[in-house]
Amino acid sequence: MCRKSENKRKKVEVMKKATVIVMWTLLVVACSRSYTPSSPSQVPGDGSSSSTDEAVTPPTSIATSLVARAERRVGFGFNGVVSGFPTGKAFLTGGGAYELSSHFVHASGGFSCVDAVLQGPLSMSVNPNHPGACLKDEGIRWDTAALLDTTTFKCTASASEETAETNGNTVVLQADFYRTGDGNEESFTAKMIVSNGDISEKFPGVNMWVQGVGCGTARTVNFSN
User: Does residue 46 form part of some domain?
Assistant: no
Residue 9: is its pLDDT beyond 70?
Answer: no
> What is the arithmetic mean of pLDDT over 29-54?
39
What pTM, to 2 d.p., does this model score?
0.69
Confidence at residue 225, expressed as pLDDT on a 0 to 100 scale: 77
Residue 11: is its pLDDT beyond 60?
Answer: no
Per-residue pLDDT tens over the stretch 194-216:
999 999 999 999 999 999 999 99
- Check whether residue 77 and residue 25 sit in a common domain: no
- Check whether residue 31 and residue 87 sit in a common domain: no
User: Does residue 52 form part of some domain?
Assistant: no
Distances (CA, A) of 109 to 38, 44, 80: 72, 64, 12
- Check whether residue 102 and residue 202 sit in a common domain: yes
> What is the arithmetic mean of pLDDT over 72-91?
97
- Check whether residue 25 and residue 83 sit in a common domain: no
User: Does residue 49 form part of some domain?
Assistant: no
Residue 169: is its pLDDT beyond 70?
Answer: yes
User: Does residue 53 form part of some domain?
Assistant: no
- Check whether residue 131 and residue 216 sit in a common domain: yes
User: Does residue 148 form part of some domain?
Assistant: yes
- Check whether residue 8 and residue 111 sit in a common domain: no
Whole-number Å distance between alpha carbons of 155 and 205:
12
> What is the arithmetic mean of pLDDT over 103-125?
98
Residue 54: is its pLDDT beyond 90?
Answer: no
- Check whether residue 125 and residue 216 sit in a common domain: yes
* Whether the Cβ atoms of residue 85 and residue 209 lie closer than 8 Å to each other: no
- Check whether residue 23 and residue 108 sit in a common domain: no
User: Does residue 145 form part of some domain?
Assistant: yes
Q: Which domain holds residue 18?
A: 2-39
User: Does residue 203 form part of some domain?
Assistant: yes
- Check whether residue 99 and residue 139 sit in a common domain: yes
The one-letter amino acid code at 119 reads Q
